[in-house]
Amino acid sequence: MEQKVDFEIVVIGGGIVGLASAYKIAMGHPDIRIAVLEKEERIAAHQTGHNSGVIHSGLYYTPGSTKAKTCAKGRKELEAFAKKHKIPYEICGKIIVATQQKELTDLERVFHNGQENEIEGIEKIGPKQIKEIEPYCHGIAGIRVPCTGIIDFTMVANKLAELIEKKSDGNKILTSHKVVRFDKHDFFTNVVTNKEAFSAKFIINCAGLQSDRIAKAAGSEPGMRIVPFRGDYYELTEAAKEKVKSLIYPVPDPAFPFLGVHFTRKIDGAVECGPNAVFSFKREGYGKTDFSFKDSWDSLSYRGTLKMFFKNWQYGLGEYARAFCKRWFLRQLQRLIPSLEAHDIRPGNAGVRAQAVGPRGEAIDDFKIEKRANFIHVLNAPSPAATASLAIGEYINEIATGYFKLKD
Ligand SMILES: Cc1cc2nc3c(=O)[nH]c(=O)nc-3n(C[C@H](O)[C@H](O)[C@H](O)COP(=O)(O)OP(=O)(O)OC[C@H]3O[C@@H](n4cnc5c(N)ncnc54)[C@H](O)[C@@H]3O)c2cc1C
C-alpha cells in the first residue's frame, strides 16, 4: 500500500529558482501536492529581491553551458510570462563599452561569444553611436545588445507563488518555515521546520545562500561551499538620472565572475550604479559591517576560500576600498560617465551573491544541479538565474519527472 504523505514534493527556498521549479512541476503534474518552504516572512527576501532586475541577453556565457542555454530560453519565456500576467517590463537594450585600448581584445571576445550564443541583433558600435545612445557615456568602442531588458523579479516571484497555489488546493507556499533537519524513513522523509514537520517523498533544495548547508543536512557532501559576496550599489540622484538612458556596462574581466561596475535603469525609474564585490562576513548580511561568526568560520575554514583569496588578494583589496570610500567608487563610475560628480550619487541597496567555490579555489561558473537519494540539490544558481528561472524550472521539472518518476 502506498504511504500517505503531506506533500509529494517539498521545495526548500522561496526565491525565484525554487518558485519557478515548483511552478513548472505544478503545471506539468497537476495531481501532485507540492509545498514551497521559505524561512523568511516573505518570498524573494534574499538574492531574488536584492538583484538588479536585468533580463540578461545571454551573450557572456560559455557556449553550450547550462547558463547559456537556459538564459536565452528563459529570457524569452520570461517576457511572454510578464506580458501574459501584466508584470511591467521593458526591453530597453544595453551597451557594453570599452574605455581603453587594452579592453578591445576582451570586447571582441564578448562579441564572438554573443554570436556563438546566437544573441539577436548584437552589433559593434563606435564612439559616435555610443554618444547617440548614451550622450553622457564615454567610450572608444562598444557592443549594442538590443534584447536586454528590465523587470522586477520580486513581482515575478509573487506571481509564480500565486499560480502555484491556484493550480491545486493541495499546493502550499509556507513562509516563516525554516527547514532545520531531515528525518529519513524508508519511503518518505520528514522535513522538519522551526514550526512543524511535513512528510514528503521528494525534496528539491533551492536554498540559494544556504544550499550547501541544506545538502549537508540531507547527508550529502556538496563538494563546494557557498562563499557570500556583497555588492553595494549607489543610485543617481533625481537631478543626475538623465545621465543614463538605459543600461551601460564595462567590458568584463574574464578572470572574475562579476560583470564590473555598471549603470542600470530599473523598471521603477531609479538608476542604480555598482556593484563592487566584497567578501561578506554574513551570508545574508546587507550592511557593510554585518558579521556572523558561523558564516565567517564556514567560509574562512574552507581551503577553497583561502586559495581563492590568495589568488585574488589585490583585486579584493581594491573592492574593499571602494566599499568604504565613495571617492574611489566614483572614480570607477567616471570611467564610463566622466561628468559624474560626488553629489550625483547617493548610497543605494546592497545584495549578497551566493558564489559556489570549489576546493581548489575556483569560482564555479555554471549552474550546478545534482541528484542524490530522494533529493535534487540546486547548489549553484548565480546570475543570470533570475532571467533563466523559467527555463531552469523546466529543466528541474524534466529531471524530477524522470528521477522521481512523477506521473503526468
Ligand atoms: C546583487 C545581485 C544582482 C543580481 N542581478 C541579477 C540580474 O540583474 N539578473 C539576473 O538574472 N540575475 C541577477 N542576480 C542573480 C539572481 O538574483 C540569482 O541568481 C537568483 O535570484 C537566485 O535565486 P534563488 O532562488 O536560487 O536564490 P534566493 O533568491 O536567494 O532564494 C533562496 C531562498 O531560500 C531560502 N532559504 C534558505 N535556507 C532556507 C531554509 N533552511 N529553510 C527555508 N528556506 C530557506 C532563503 O530565505 C531564500 O529566500 C543578481 C544577484 C545579486 C545578489
Mean pLDDT, all residues of the chain: 94
Q: Report CA(247)–ligand 1 centroid distance (Å).
A: 22
Please choose, from the candidates 76, 77, 74, 72, the residue with its C-alpha nearest in 3D space to the C-alpha of residue 58. Answer: 72
Task: Give the H or E element holding residue 160.
Answer: helix 153-167
Instruction: Please choose, from the candidates 72, 42, 37, the residue with its C-alpha nearest in 3D space to the C-alpha of residue 390.
Output: 72
pLDDT at 246 over 90: yes
pLDDT exceeding 90 applies to what percent of the chain?
A: 88
pLDDT band at 255 (very low <50, low <70, confident <90, very high): confident
Distance from C-alpha of 18 to C-alpha of 206, rounded to nearest angstrom: 5
DSSP conformation letters of 41-56: SSSS-SGGGGS--EE-
Probe residue for ligand 1, chosen from 37, 40, 47, 389 as the CB with the greatest number of ligand atoms within 8 Å: 47
Question: What pTM did the predictor assign?
Answer: 0.96
pLDDT number for residue 2: 63
Residue 257 has pLDDT above 70, yes or no: no
Question: Ligand 1 test: best mutation among 12, 23, 40, 48, most atoms within 8 Å of CB?
Answer: 48
DSSP 89: E
Atom of ligand 1 nearest to the CA of 53: 8
Residue 1 has pLDDT above 60, yes or no: no
Task: Give the pLDDT confidence score for residue 375 in this predicted structure.
Answer: 98
Is 318 a residue whose pLDDT tops 60?
yes
Give the mean pLDDT of 262-268. 96
Instruction: Give the percent of the chain with pLDDT over 70.
Output: 97
Give the tens place of pLDDT for each residue, 161-212.
Answer: 999 999 999 999 999 999 999 999 999 999 999 999 999 999 999 999 999 9
Query: Average pLDDT for residues 55-69, to the nearest whole number?
Result: 95
Q: How far apart are CA 209 and CA 182, in angstroms?
A: 19
Residues with CB under 6 A from ligand 1: 12-18, 37-40, 45-48, 50-54, 56, 178-179, 206-210, 214, 231, 275, 351-353, 381-387
What is the arithmetic mean of pLDDT over 362-390?
Answer: 96
pLDDT tens for residues 378-387?
999 999 999 9
